Amino acid sequence: MATSPTPAPRVAEVGVPPARLPKGALVAAPIVFVVTAVIGIVMIAVSVVTIADAVGNFHTVRAGRTATVRLAPGEWYVVLGGPGSTWRQVQVQVLGADGRSVTKNASSTHVSVDASGKHYDSAGSFDVSRTGAYRVTVDGPAGTEARIGQVPFGRFIGLLVGGIVIGAIGFIAAVVLLVVGLVVRANAKKRRSGVAAEGAAPAVLPSPVPDDGPVA
């Protein structure tokens, strides 16, 4: 009986499924940037509105009138307001409890805001050492007025600086996350390319059964 030589087993290439590239940092970067940017913008906007809201709550004395206001210790601002530029024609006299005009501070932070449909510009500030009644007289065109109050500069500066800082930190954090994400992704690509270059692991498949032909 003749026999045929047994063929060598066949070798097949078994592919290794590619690993998914990491992208967590790349996704987080824009999210961090957008969230911190929105928070920063909102804080800055609120800081601006803070001054306008404060002026809106000041003691108001309309042109042609005299009023008595009670003031507590601290720095008090006098702002002149009216439609358009009519505020420039307003004159204010503030008398203390002793009947004397208050002493205007040599320097003070300038305030200029729009509130209640009018433009307001500061005419200066004066200091109150003890609580008392102050007599305010206002002269000016119809529709103009003067307002006296305290400006919350601490809150304004805190919100403004806080908004800028948060926005800056968010931007830096987003850039760092982006760089880290790109580096990690690039390294993952290199490792995957190296695995592909080495070739897939061989696997032995069963050889076909030889045909011995007819039996003699």
The secondary structure of 138-182 as a DSSP string is EE-STT-EEEEE---HHHHHHHHHHHHHHHHHHHHHHHHHHHHHH
Residues near 85 by beta carbon (within 8 Å), at least 6 away in sequence: 119
pTM metric for this prediction: 0.61
Separation CA 111–CA 54 (nearest Å)? 11
Pick from 134, 57, 148, 151: nearest CA to 98: 134
The reply to whether 31 and 70 lie within a common domain is no
- Specify whether 99 is located in the same domain as 129: yes
Are 67 and 121 found together in one domain? yes
Q: Residue 38 falls within a domain, yes or no?
A: yes
Taking CA atoms, 71 is separated from 66, 76, 97, in Å, by 16, 8, 11
Q: Does 184 map to a domain? A: yes
pLDDT (0 to 100) of residue 211? 56
Which pLDDT score is estimated for 12?
46
Report yes or no on 213 lying in a domain. Answer: no
Nearest to 41 by CA among 173, 213, 168: 168
> For 82-140, what is each residue's pLDDT tens digit?
998 889 999 999 999 888 899 888 777 888 888 778 899 999 999 998 899 999 999 99
**Predicted local confidence at residue 107, as pLDDT:** 72
CA–CA separation, 149 and 55 (whole Å): 7
> Residue 212 has what DSSP assignment?
-
* 209 assigned to some structural domain: no
Domain holding 146: CATH number?
Answer: 2.60.120
Q: Which domain holds residue 145?
A: 52-151
CB 131 within 8 A of CB 88: no
Domain count, the chain: 2
| Co-location of 91 and 135 in the same domain | yes
For residue 52, the model assigns a pLDDT of 85
CA separation for the pair 125, 94 (Å, rounded)? 11
Residues of the chain scoring pLDDT < 70: 1-22, 194-216
Tell me: do 104 and 191 sit in the same domain: no
Q: Are residues 39 and 56 in the same domain?
A: no
Identify whether 193 is part of a domain: yes
Statement to judge: residues 132 and 192 lie in one domain: no
